[in-house]
């Protein structure tokens, strides 16, 4: 089947979306082929910055020293000082709630071993282990970049989904996001485009429209 322009497919998918009382997510459904997904290196796990953002809030949490956290207060959605890390980890219910509500985490590099030991069981399965940042750095720009990003994870599945916007965004904006995500995914696959069987665009409640 010949490829169709992203904008044409996004416009069709939005047009076929039934009316709902909530803002629907627009996502890609990607089907892989000719990959042994039992081999960890063949699994996709990446962060992709969208040219036009997610179309809804993306939350970022930061673990760090008081000095580092002072730089991101008002920018990050959750800050956990190093001296409160043990208490944070002991509150298992609170830690799980944070892991579910925060999209991305950053951590001052020296804290990574402790976070892995104390919070790995909560953050690891959700694909939310923190990205390390240098001690004393100012991660404000990185926090802002993550607020425009998505996490792409295939895990062991041949078919996986990636959000590329919301129904309220302009079709042109969503199409640009689509192209950015697919370019990144193709670049990560062992044999690039030939490892993709098909790609569909759909809204939360709408039918899938084939792109590739």
DSSP secondary structure, 38-82, as one string: TSGGGS-EEEEE-TT--SS---EEEEE-HHHHHHHTTTSSEEEEG
Element holding 157 (H helix, E strand):
none
Asked if residues 24 and 17 have their Cβ atoms less than 8 Å apart, the reply is yes
**Helix, strand or coil for residue 142?**
helix
Tell me what pLDDT residue 96 has.
95
Please state, in angstroms and rounded to a whole number, the distance separating the CA atoms of residues 154 and 39. 12
Tell me what pLDDT residue 99 has.
94
Asked if residues 186 and 199 have their Cβ atoms less than 8 Å apart, the reply is no
Q: What is the pLDDT of residues 85-129, one digit of tens each?
A: 999 999 999 999 999 999 999 999 999 999 999 999 999 999 899
pLDDT above 80 for 3: no
CA dihedral 92, 95, 99, 104 (to 10 degrees): -150
Please state, in angstroms and rounded to a whole number, the distance separating the CA atoms of residues 17 and 206. 4
pLDDT above 90 for 41: no
Indicate the pLDDT class of residue 19, thresholds 50, 70 and 90.
confident
Indicate the pLDDT class of residue 1, thresholds 50, 70 and 90.
very low
Mean per-residue pLDDT of the chain = 93
Q: Per-domain residue ranges for the chain? A: 6-55+150-210, 60-146
**Helix, strand or coil for residue 86?**
helix
CATH for 6-55+150-210, options being 3.30.190.20, 3.40.50.1450, 3.90.226.10, 1.10.8.640: 3.30.190.20
Tell me what pLDDT residue 21 has.
79
Tell me what pLDDT residue 18 has.
85
Q: What is the pLDDT of residues 130-183, one digit of tens each?
A: 999 999 899 999 999 999 999 998 888 899 999 999 999 999 999 999 999 999
Q: Global pTM?
A: 0.83
CATH number attached to the domain at 60-146: 3.40.50.790
């Amino acid at each position: 089947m010949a490829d169709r322009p992203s904008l044409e497919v996004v416009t069709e998918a939005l047009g076929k979306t039934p009316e709902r009382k909530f803002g629907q997510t627009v996502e890609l459904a990607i089907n892989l082929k000719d990959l042994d997904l039992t081999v960890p290196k063949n699994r996709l796990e990446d962060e992709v910055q969208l040219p036009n953002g997610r179309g809804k809030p993306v939350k970022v949490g930061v673990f760090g020293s008081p000095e580092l956290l002072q730089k991101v207060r008002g920018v990050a959605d959750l800050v956990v000082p190093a001296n409160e890390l043990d208490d944070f980890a002991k509150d298992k219910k609170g830690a799980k709630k944070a892991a579910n509500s925060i999209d991305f985490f950053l951590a001052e590099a020296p804290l990574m071993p402790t976070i892995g030991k104390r919070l790995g069981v909560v953050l690891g399965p959700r694909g939310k282990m923190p990205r390390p940042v240098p001690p004393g750095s100012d991660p404000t720009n990185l926090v802002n970049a993550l607020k425009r990003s998505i996490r792409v994870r295939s895990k062991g599945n041949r078919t996986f989904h990636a959000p590329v916007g919301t129904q309220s965004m302009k079709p042109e904006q969503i199409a640009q996001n689509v192209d950015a995500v697919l370019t990144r995914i193709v670049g990560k696959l062992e044999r690039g485009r030939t490892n993709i069987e098909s790609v569909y665009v759909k809204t939360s409640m709408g039918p899938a429209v084939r792109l590739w």
